[in-house]
Amino acid sequence: MTFYGCKVEGCNYADDPNGCVYVAYARVIFHGCDFLYPKSTTKYVIVADEQGDVWLDSCFMTFGIYYGVHAKMNYSRLFIVNTHIHATYRAVHVVGQGNNNVRIINSILYGGEYDLYIDNILELIVCDTQFGSGKVYIANVSRKKLSQITNYNVVNNGVATLSGDGTTTDFLLSEHGLDVEVTDPTKVIVKCTPASPDAIAASPVVCYLSDEDSDGVYESIRAKFASAPASGTDNVKIVWEVEYIG
Ligand SMILES: [Ca+2]
């Protein structure tokens, strides 16, 4: 079924014989629609491989779905709002040409392989959204804002309690816990706050990402004090915070 510009309200696409809906050179709004059990179990539900804006508002895309939305967009926009997509392979897949906008708000994305796969778009905003146990891949996005996402940590924080020995200035705090494999430490902001008298006395302190096992992946956080904290047991406390900005 191919749409060339319309609003689709309250439709039920169960058992669509083609297994997919094409949107090409058009603006299509799907509101309150139910997409499930496509006849083809290896195809896409919504395909937007040409110029074409797609709004999915208050829709369900579940039960037997392989790909949810597959977009190879050019000068197009994809908005997914109040929508649940549960796909056996990829819930949302967008590989653009550097000039698309994708916004996903207050939705649930579950994919057997990827919950979300985004590459080469202009702007990505994801907020108040729940991911499943699939992977998330986001690359080559010029502007990006991710907030209030369940099951995908782009921010993390913690408290490290250490013991000074009067000579050590550089301490391993913990792993950062971000759901991102960090190979470029310039993509992560690391902040820390000294939170005990001996930590404050040895400050200023800076925190930074560290590749403890030298495998090219920065999995840890370290703190470096200007002077060695005093000797003691659990006398050096640091509050740390990390944010992925890649
Ligand atoms: Ca490593």
Domain coordinates of the chain in residue numbers?
2-150, 155-244
The 10 Å Cβ neighbour count of residue 206 is 13
Following CA atoms 59, 65, 68, 72 in sequence, which dihedral angle do they give, to the nearest 10 degrees?
Answer: -150
Query: Ligand 1 center to residue 54 CA distance, Å?
Result: 40
Structure confidence at residue 3 (pLDDT): 61
Q: Kindly tell me if the per-residue pLDDT of 14 is higher than 70.
A: no
**Contact (Cβ atoms closer than 8 angstroms) between residue 236 and residue 164:** yes
pLDDT at 39: 65
| Ligand 1 center from residue 210 Cα (angstroms) | 7
CA of 37 to the centre of ligand 1 (A): 43
CA of 139 to the centre of ligand 1 (A): 21
Distances (CA, A) of 89 to 1, 40, 124, 201: 22, 13, 21, 53
pLDDT by residue (tens digit) across 147-166?
A: 888 888 888 999 999 999 99
Q: How far is the CA of 170 from the centre of ligand 1 (A)?
A: 18
Residue 6: CB atoms within 10 Å: 12
* pLDDT classification of 115: cutoffs 50, 70, 90: very high
For the 155-244 domain, the top CATH level (class) is mainly beta
At 19 the pLDDT is 61
- The environment of the single-atom ion ligand 1, i.e. residues with CB closer than 5 A, is 211, 213, 215, 217, 219
Bigger pLDDT: 36 or 240? Answer: 240
Ligand 1 center to 153 CA (angstroms): 18
pLDDT at 15: 64
